[in-house]
Chain A
């Protein structure tokens, strides 16, 4: 009996590096052979709200898509942006892309290229989507877009003046958009969009963000300032499945090219690694507590 207790105490004081090794293995093994563990993803309430509010938009509605994430948070947010762009283009919605993070422009370019290469949709730059590029200033830019977009953006990412682009002529400020969707990973993020633009001008806003920001944004979701929220990679996997099913049982409409197969998203394949690592973390907590309890028992 005595050595079992010792084993548990030892289990509670593992060296830091052993923990790091266990974590890397628990991520590496499922990634090397993905079909190790096939798990169903159930859609949570908030992801469904986002899907429904975007689904209610009609053809030629105008959506402002704001990219505020970089390469370091790409694994969580990028699958969301691709799923959202697929969803919007399949409904013939005009997409206006801005980015408030320097790396956001490249993330937007990656997402657009991936969709254009899949030639699932007949979309053209300047007609169906436009990329206004990056402007530094965070809340300054959001405030500028809210009050008068000309004060902040005068050229698109290819430096052509906005007045020459037909898509932009009846856009003066945020009230000319039907929906604002913010892909955020920090500051400026969904909180700044709520505070500086959409609250005051009553524009429907929703957001997909990294998991860490979700608990901060929840009061906004609960009070309706944010129409649902896509939370981290699990949220991205859920949204991907929603869009995948939506596209599959949607008879090909005029926005989509025929005979192009729809590929499942990236986030779903990473969920097995995510699940196993979460289990490992829970085991760490349990062992840490057992040994803490036993050592405290031994001392007093």
Chain B
């Protein structure tokens, strides 16, 4: 078994994959450790990526261009995000924690302004524009577009809040919910398709790692995990019974 860093990596990958899959059996020590390792590794990973890809090039790259050489020119206005960032850190001090509200206010205000404009354009105006009937399709194409029109309008009527859903509005919104349900069914069907593909990809990797070249890592780890898990669950059920006995 060639003992290289890369081989340890493969064994680690297979061990962690199988401990995540052990969750299907139920909550067990393998899953708990994989979960906690995942939380620690991902928190560290995101923190490092955030610093090296955002703060270092975009902020310090503009405040100290000569030192950072991220290709940006000096830009005095970037003092403000630096201040807002420090305000954010002041949350740790009881006295000045109210300053962090200004940074939050900036983000919330900016998000509201930008999303207002972007959603209005691409998700409202263009969608209204595309409800026009184009005639260079055959008769079935035109019927389809009429069905789409009915579906969109009845779907919107379903979302009426200030009107009682009775009488004609009730009937239209009933039709609307039918269209929405067909859309949800289609999304669910697609989701099944997507998830199965990912499982196939994962199993393919496990099969790849069970070859001689990777010194049969998957079968060895799989068998040892199954043995340990059976011992653990037998011990677990035993001391559950003990707890019940001394509780009575």
Contact = CB atoms under 8 A, between A and B. Distances in A.
Interface of A: 17, 20, 23-24, 27-28, 31-32, 72-76, 102, 134-137, 139, 154-155, 161-162, 191, 194-196, 199-200, 210-212, 214-216, 219, 222-225, 231-234, 270, 273-274, 277-278, 281
Interface in B145-165: 148
Contact of B197 (A135, A196, A223, A270): A270
Given A27-B199, A76-B198, A224 B130 contact: yes
B71 A215 contact: no
Nearest to B45: A102
Contact of A277 (B114, B190, B196): B196
Contact of A234 (B25, B191, B193, B202): B193
Given A72-B198, A137-B54, A215-B183, A232 B190 contact: yes
Contacts of B1: none
B170 to A, nearest CB: 26
Given A76-B194, A233-B194, A281-B196, 16 more contacts: A31-B200, A31-B204, A75-B198, A76-B198, A76-B201, A102-B49, A196-B118, A199-B121, A199-B122, A211-B194, A211-B197, A222-B130, A225-B126, A270-B200, A278-B193, A278-B196
B50 A136 contact: yes
26 contacts: A17-B25, A20-B24, A23-B199, A27-B199, A27-B200, A75-B201, A75-B204, A76-B197, A154-B71, A155-B70, A195-B118, A195-B122, A199-B126, A210-B194, A212-B190, A212-B194, A214-B190, A215-B183, A215-B190, A222-B130, A222-B148, A232-B194, A233-B194, A270-B204, A278-B196, A281-B196
Contacts of A161: 71
A27 B148 CA distance: 37
Interface in B189-236: 190-204, 207
A183 B191 CA distance: 17
A233 B122 contact: no
Contacts of A224: 130
Contacts of B200: 27, 31, 75, 233, 270, 273-274, 277
Contact of B187 (A139, A215, A273): A215
B72 interface: yes
Contacts of B190: 211-212, 214-215, 231-232
Interface residues of B, number: 39
Nearest to B134: A224
Nearest to B25: A17
A17 B187 CA distance: 25
Interface of B: 24-25, 49-50, 53-54, 70-72, 114, 118-119, 121-123, 126-127, 129-130, 148, 183, 186-187, 190-204, 207
A103 to B, nearest CB: 10
A202 to B, nearest CB: 12
A235 to B, nearest CB: 10
Contacts of A137: 54
Contacts of B49: 102, 136
B152 to A, nearest CB: 9
A212 B191 CA distance: 5
A102 B51 CA distance: 13
Nearest to B148: A222
B118 to A, nearest CB: 5
Contact of B207 (A31, A199, A219): A31
B191 A211 contact: yes
Given A199-B122, A214-B190, A134 B198 contact: no
Contact of B53 (A102, A214, A273): A102
B200 to A, nearest CB: 5
A17 B21 CA distance: 12
A200 B121 contact: yes
Given A17-B24, A195-B121, A223-B126, A155 B197 contact: no
Contacts of B193: 211, 232-234, 274, 278
A27 B203 contact: yes
Given A17-B25, A137-B54, A195-B118, A215 B192 contact: no
